[in-house]
């Protein structure tokens, strides 16, 4: 009798072990097949959501008309303004990095539009001069925004960057952009009575519109 009980218990134990092993194998197989593939995790080891922002910035649809280019540029300017107006009030770390990353993504589109409008046939001397000025000065805006993205825990870096950007944009970038917008519109025989508008200024600009 005792021998029979031992045999029954042994059979039950073997069945339980087999079922457990099979379930584990089946789960591992499904998990492997259904696991989402994220090349950034594999490549970098960690996932940085801000890589997506820079990716979108480089694949933004380029303008094919003067009006579209100016409209895109206005959106770029307003987005950068929104960040500059609150940058030094943002908490250091993720919040500051997120704001600077968004501003940088849109700021990167401005040189694209400058190149497009600067090559419009029939552009007058004022427009060409404005495009040339932008070529010389705008790079520092991108450099300073990238500094904030790279060191979002540093208030001195943020303060220096915002200060440099404000001076550059108020004195050089935004006035030149306005001139180029109007010159490009005139070159295409677009009425400038009510369009394009003046470029909105960040709060730091003296006498901002």
For residue range 82-125, what is the model confidence (pLDDT) as tens digits?
Answer: 999 999 999 999 999 999 999 999 999 999 999 999 999 999 99
57: how many CB neighbours lie within 10 A of its CB?
17
Backbone angles phi and psi of 188, in degrees to 5: -100, 15
Give the chain's mean pLDDT.
81
pLDDT grade for 157, boundaries at 50, 70 and 90: very high
Q: How confident is the model at residue 19 (pLDDT cuts 50, 70, 90)?
A: very low
Residue with more model confidence, 42 or 143: 143
Q: With bands split at pLDDT 50, 70 and 90, how would you rate the model's confidence at 62?
A: confident
Domain map of the chain by residue range? 43-187
Distance between CA atoms of residues 202 and 164, nearest Å: 13
pLDDT tens by residue, 158-207: 999 999 999 999 999 999 999 999 999 999 999 999 999 999 999 999 97
Is 134:126 a contact under the CB 8 Å cutoff?
A: no
43-187 maps to which CATH number?
Answer: 1.20.120
**81 with 87: CB under 8 angstroms?**
no
DSSP 47-100: --THHHHHHHHHTPPPP-SHHHHHHHHHHHHHHHHHHHHHGGGSPTTHHHHHHH
The yes-or-no verdict on residue 54 having pLDDT over 70 is no
Phi, psi torsion values for 59, nearest 5 degrees = -115, 15
Q: Where does the pLDDT of residue 208 fall: very low under 50, low under 70, confident under 90, or very high at 90 and above? A: low
Whether 78 and 209 have beta carbons less than 8 Å apart is answered as no
Both tokens assigned to 78: 């307003």
Indicate the pLDDT class of residue 29, thresholds 50, 70 and 90: very low
The two most distant CA atoms of the chain are separated, in Å, by 109
Check whether 67 has a pLDDT greater than 90.
Answer: yes
How high is the pLDDT of residue 209? 58
Q: Is the pLDDT of residue 8 over 50?
A: no
Higher-scoring residue by pLDDT: 154, 42: 154
Residue 151 scores a pLDDT above 80: yes
Residue 30 Cα distances to 19, 38, 81, angstroms = 16, 17, 49
Positive or negative, the CA dihedral 186, 188, 192, 196 is negative
Instruction: Using pLDDT thresholds of 50, 70 and 90, give the confidence band for residue 63.
Output: confident
Residue with tokens 């134990």: 13
| Percent of the chain scoring above 70 in pLDDT | 70
Helix residue ranges, H only, 151-209: 155-168, 174-187
Strands (E), the chain: none
Q: Which residues are within 8 A (CB) of 78 and not within 5 positions of it... i.e. 6 or more apart?
A: 200
Residue with tokens 């039950």: 12
Buried b (16+ CB within 10 A) or exposed e, 152-180: beeeebbeebbeebbebbbebbbbbbbbb
- Please give the pLDDT value at position 18: 43
pLDDT at 15 exceeding the cut of 60? no
């Amino acid at each position: 009798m005792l021998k029979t009980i031992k045999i029954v218990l042994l059979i039950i134990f073997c069945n339980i072990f087999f079922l457990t092993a099979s379930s584990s194998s089946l789960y591992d197989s499904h998990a492997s097949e259904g696991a989402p593939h994220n090349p950034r995790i594999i490549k970098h080891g960690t996932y940085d959501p801000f890589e997506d922002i820079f990716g979108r910035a480089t694949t933004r649809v380029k303008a094919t008309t003067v009006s579209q280019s100016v409209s895109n540029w206005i959106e770029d300017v307003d987005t950068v303004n929104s960040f500059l107006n609150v940058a030094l009030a943002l908490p250091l770390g993720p919040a500051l990095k997120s704001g600077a990353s968004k501003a940088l993504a849109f700021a990167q589109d401005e040189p694209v539009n400058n190149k497009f409008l600067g090559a419009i046939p029939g552009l007058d001397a004022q427009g060409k001069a404005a495009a040339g000025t932008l070529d010389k000065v705008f790079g520092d805006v991108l450099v300073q925004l990238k500094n904030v993205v790279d060191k979002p825990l540093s208030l001195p870096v943020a303060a220096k960057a915002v200060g440099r950007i404000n001076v550059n944009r108020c004195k050089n970038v935004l006035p030149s952009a306005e001139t180029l917008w109007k010159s490009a519109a005139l070159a295409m025989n677009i009425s400038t009575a009510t369009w394009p508008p003046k470029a909105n200024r960040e709060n730091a600009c003296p006498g901002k519109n």
